[in-house]
Structure formats: C-alpha cells, structure tokens
Structure 1
Amino acid sequence: MLKHVSFLTRDLTATLTFYGRLGGVTEKDVVTPEGYRRGVVRLGGGRLQFFQMFGEQPAPHSHWAEHIALHVRGLRDLLPELQAAGAVVTRDLQPSPGGRDMAFVLDPDGRQVELLEDDGG
C-alpha cells in the first residue's frame, strides 16, 4: 500500500491547485520546523507530498519514465480544461494498451502525469 510519493516544487500553491483539479484534496499546507513549505494531497487511497524549498529551484523532470499515473473520470472533458488552465499536453488523448482513454500532461513543475480514464470498476 502506498503511503505517499514526495517531490520538490517551485510553487506549492500552483501544484496544490493543479492536483485539486484532478480530484485531489489538500490535507496539509504547512511550514516545517526546517522552514520548508509542505503540502500533502490525498488522491484516492494514496498521497502526494510536495516541499517548496525557499531560495532553491528544483530542476524540472521531463523523462517519460518518471511520472505519476492517475485514474480520472471524464478525461475527454478534463483534458481541455487543463489545457485552458495552462497545462502542457505531452501525449494527446489516445487509447491505452488496455483500451481506456489516456493522455499525458505536465504539472506546474514539469513532471509527467499520466491520466487514465477510470472505468468505475
């Protein structure tokens, strides 16, 4: 069972907003004793954790193998909404190997996010 996946972010507010559009719920947005801003997003049964380190700029991640895969509902409607909000589509809507709709977008820090239509099962 996945507890969380942790990443650096340049802009925690933009990142929490992005994952909120994908159905995530922000559980924490705090400053740690070390002075980092920490955000935790619950998505389904898992959690994503992000740290914004003030004064430090993490490099964007663009390699396809490093990505987050999410089941979402209504991908055909969601994808244009994400594009209108500024998300970059790196792989347009297409059938996945299993036959579901899928697409890849970049989050605000340039991480690949695979969006796979949730069949509700």
Structure 2
Amino acid sequence: MQLKHVSFLTRDADALRRFYAALGATVLKDQTRSEEALRRLVLEVGGGRLQFFQDLSGALQPRAAQGWMEHIALEVSGLDAVISRLLEAGGALLRREPSPSGRDMAFVRDPDGRQLELLERSPS
C-alpha cells in the first residue's frame, strides 16, 4: 500500500504554491475546472503529494487548522534555512523545541493556517 495524496481546501492556491515551493515542492498539476468552479493544485513534496482545491465560487471555506493534532509532518535537512525560506514565503513560526526523540523540531503555519511540523533529519 502507498499513500497517494493528502487533500485540503484553500483560499489562495497561489500563496500555497509559493509557500510550498520554498520547501522544494514541484507543481504536478494546476488546473481550473470552470464547470465546477474549482482550481486544483497538486504538489510533489519529498516524494509525497499534497492536493489543494480552491473553490472559485467562494461557497466552500477551508477551516484553519486548530491545535497541534492536524498537521503535515516533514523531515528536513538544514532546519534553520528551511524555516527562513518559509517565513519569507508567508509562513509564521509557531514554536521551536526539541522533539520527544531529542531532534530539532519546529512548527510553522502555512498561508491557510495549516501547521507544518518540521523535524531535522537524523544523520545517516
């Protein structure tokens, strides 16, 4: 079994495209379905896929992530540099602390308020 993607609603697909590009994400699809009034943005991030739908009619509104339980977790190399790029791309640093395993960890909000857990990759 393999996870295909994780999907979310967004208010601003362009802002998310810039934000996740700061993590090295590549755009796999960016298409608008005018008959459904939906824009679909699919990004490849670290071997996985994030899919975002922007409701162009404004009827569906994403819910800002609350608390730490709803988040996207990524292992990264060079946590300080990654945080800097994400802040420049519209993110907000929520907290930075050691993980339960002792690795460097930070939580950053994306432009929709969704939390990213960034965990420093263990040396191989």
When normalised by structure 2's length, the TM-score is 0.87
Structure 2 unaligned regions, length at least 5: none
Structure 1 unaligned regions, length at least 5: none
Which runs of structure 2 are paired with 1:11-90 in the superposition (5 Å)? 11-32=12-33, 33-54=35-56, 55-56=58-59, 57-90=61-94
Instruction: Give me the identity figure in percent.
Output: 55
**Aligned equivalents of 1:116, 1:81: Cα separation in 2:** 15
Backbone CA RMSD of aligned residues:
1.6
Give 1:103's aligned residue.
106
**Aligned equivalents of 1:120, 1:5: Cα separation in 2:** 27
Deviation of the 1:17 alpha carbon = 1.1
Deviation of the 1:119 alpha carbon = 2.8
**Aligned equivalents of 2:31, 2:89: Cα separation in 1:** 25
Give 2:122's aligned residue.
119
When normalised by structure 1's length, the TM-score is 0.89
How many residue pairs get matched?
120
Output the amino acid matched with 1:67: H
**Aligned equivalents of 1:120, 1:2: Cα separation in 2:** 25
